[in-house]
Structure 1
Amino acid sequence: MTASATRAAWTIVGLLWVVALINYLDRQLVVTMPGPIKADLNLGDEKFGLLSSVFLWIYGFCSPIAGYVADRIGKRRVILSSLLIWSAATFASGLVTTFGGMLAARAALGVSEAFYMPAAVALIVDYHRGPTRSRATGLHLSGVYAGSVIGGLGGFLAEAFGWRNVFLMIGGIGVAYAVVLAALFPAPPENGYTATQEDVVIDTQGRPAFLSLLSSRGFLLLLAMNMLDGAAYWPVRNWLAEFFRGELGVSSAWAGVYGPMAFNGAAFVGMLIASNLSDWWAVRTPRARALVPAIGFMMAAPCLVLMGAVDEIPIVLSCVFVAGMSQGFLDANLMPAACTVVDLRHRATAYGLLNFAGTTAGGAMTYIGGYLKEQQVPFGALFQLAGGMIFLAAVLLVFVRPIVAKPAEV
Structure 2
Amino acid sequence: MSSNPDIQAIDATVAAPAAAAPARLSSHRRWFMLSLLLIATIINYVDRVNISIAAPFMAKDLGLDKVQMGLIFSAFAWTYAFALVPAGFIADRFGSRLTYGASLISWSAVTVCQGMAGGFASLFGLRLAIGAMEAPAFPANSRAVTVWFPARERGMASSIYVCGQYLGTALFTGLLLWLATTYDWRHVFYSTGIVGILFGIAWLYLYRDPLNCKKVSKQELDYIEAGGGLVKSSQDKNTFKWAQIAELLKYRQVWAICIGKFASTSALYFFLTWFPTYLIEERHLTMVKVGIFAVLPFIGATVGVLLAGFIADWMIRRGVSLSFARKLPLVVGSALGMSIMLVNFTDSNEVCIALLTIAFFAQGIASSSWAAVSEVAPKELIGLTGGITSLAANIGGIVTPIVIGQILHLTGNFAWAFWFIGGMACIGTLSYSLLLGRIYRIELKAK
Question: TM-score, structure 1 length as denominator?
Answer: 0.90
What does 1:190-339 correspond to in 2, within 5 Å? 193-196=224-227, 208-255=243-290, 257-259=292-294, 261-283=295-317, 284-287=320-323, 288-301=325-338, 303-331=339-367, 333-339=368-374
Aligned pair in 2 of structure 1 residues 45, 207: CA closer, same or farther (>3 Å)?
Answer: closer
1:106 aligns with 2:127: yes
> C-alpha distance in 1, partners of 2:439/2:42?
33
Q: Which moved more, 1:317-326 or 1:181-190?
A: 181-190
Aligned residues of 2:377 and 2:441 also touching (Cα < 8 A): no
1:340 aligns with 2:375: yes
Give ranges in structure 2 of 5+ residues lacking alignment.
Answer: 1-20, 213-217, 234-240
Aligned residues of 2:84 and 2:135 also touching (Cα < 8 A): yes
How far did 1:232 drift?
3.9
In the TM superposition, what whole-angstrom CA distance separates every residue of 1:303-359 from its partner, at most 9, and x where no partner exists?
Answer: 21101232211111111111111122122x212212333312212111111221111
**Alignment equivalent of 1:374, drawn from 409, 418, 421:** 409
In the TM superposition, what whole-angstrom CA distance separates every residue of 1:196-237 from its partner, at most 9, and x where no partner exists?
Answer: 5797x9xxxx99431221011111111111112223432344
SS in 1 for 2:403: helix
**Alignment equivalent of 1:12, drawn from 25, 29, 33:** 33
Aligned residues of 1:233 and 1:386 also touching (Cα < 8 A): no
The one-letter code sitting in structure 2 at the alignment partner of 1:319 is L
How far did 1:4 drift?
7.2
Aligned to 2:178: 156
> C-alpha distance in 1, partners of 2:37/2:105?
14
In the TM superposition, what whole-angstrom CA distance separates every residue of 1:372-394 from its partner, at most 9, and x where no partner exists?
Answer: 21112421211122112212212
> C-alpha distance in 1, partners of 2:141/2:322?
22
How far did 1:151 drift?
4.5
> C-alpha distance in 2, partners of 1:219/1:197?
20
Aligned residues of 1:93 and 1:102 also touching (Cα < 8 A): yes
Q: Which moved more, 1:148-157 or 1:176-185?
A: 148-157
1:172 aligns with 2:208: no
Give ranges in structure 1 of 5+ residues lacking alignment.
Answer: none
Aligned residues with identical type, % of pairs: 23
Aligned residues of 1:231 and 1:363 also touching (Cα < 8 A): no
> C-alpha distance in 2, partners of 1:187/1:323?
36
> C-alpha distance in 2, partners of 1:285/1:270?
21
Cα RMSD for the two superposed structures? 2.5
Aligned to 2:207: 185
In the TM superposition, what whole-angstrom CA distance separates every residue of 1:140-173 from its partner, at most 9, and x where no partner exists?
Answer: 1222222122342232320022111121111111
> C-alpha distance in 2, partners of 1:164/1:405?
46
Aligned to 1:396: 431
Aligned residues of 1:263 and 1:324 also touching (Cα < 8 A): yes
Aligned to 1:51: 72
> C-alpha distance in 2, partners of 1:272/1:235?
21
Aligned pair in 2 of structure 1 residues 112, 357: CA closer, same or farther (>3 Å)?
Answer: same
In the TM superposition, what whole-angstrom CA distance separates every residue of 1:264-296 from its partner, at most 9, and x where no partner exists?
Answer: 211111122111101012341112112112112
1:91 aligns with 2:112: yes
1:123 aligns with 2:144: yes
Aligned to 2:12: none
How far did 1:187 drift?
5.1
> C-alpha distance in 2, partners of 1:36/1:68?
39
> C-alpha distance in 1, partners of 2:406/2:242?
43
Q: Which moved more, 1:177-186 or 1:15-24?
A: 177-186
The one-letter code sitting in structure 1 at the alignment partner of 2:281 is G
Aligned pair in 2 of structure 1 residues 54, 101: CA closer, same or farther (>3 Å)?
Answer: same
Aligned pair in 2 of structure 1 residues 339, 141: CA closer, same or farther (>3 Å)?
Answer: closer
Aligned residues of 1:197 and 1:406 also touching (Cα < 8 A): no
> C-alpha distance in 2, partners of 1:328/1:296?
7
Residues paired across the two proteins, number: 401
> C-alpha distance in 2, partners of 1:103/1:394?
33
Aligned pair in 2 of structure 1 residues 175, 404: CA closer, same or farther (>3 Å)?
Answer: closer
How far did 1:407 drift?
9.4
Aligned residues of 1:242 and 1:255 also touching (Cα < 8 A): no
Aligned pair in 2 of structure 1 residues 271, 406: CA closer, same or farther (>3 Å)?
Answer: closer
Aligned to 1:384: 419
Aligned to 1:356: 391
How far did 1:367 drift?
0.8
Aligned pair in 2 of structure 1 residues 292, 175: CA closer, same or farther (>3 Å)?
Answer: same
How far did 1:403 drift?
4.8
Aligned to 2:162: 141
How far did 1:127 drift?
0.7
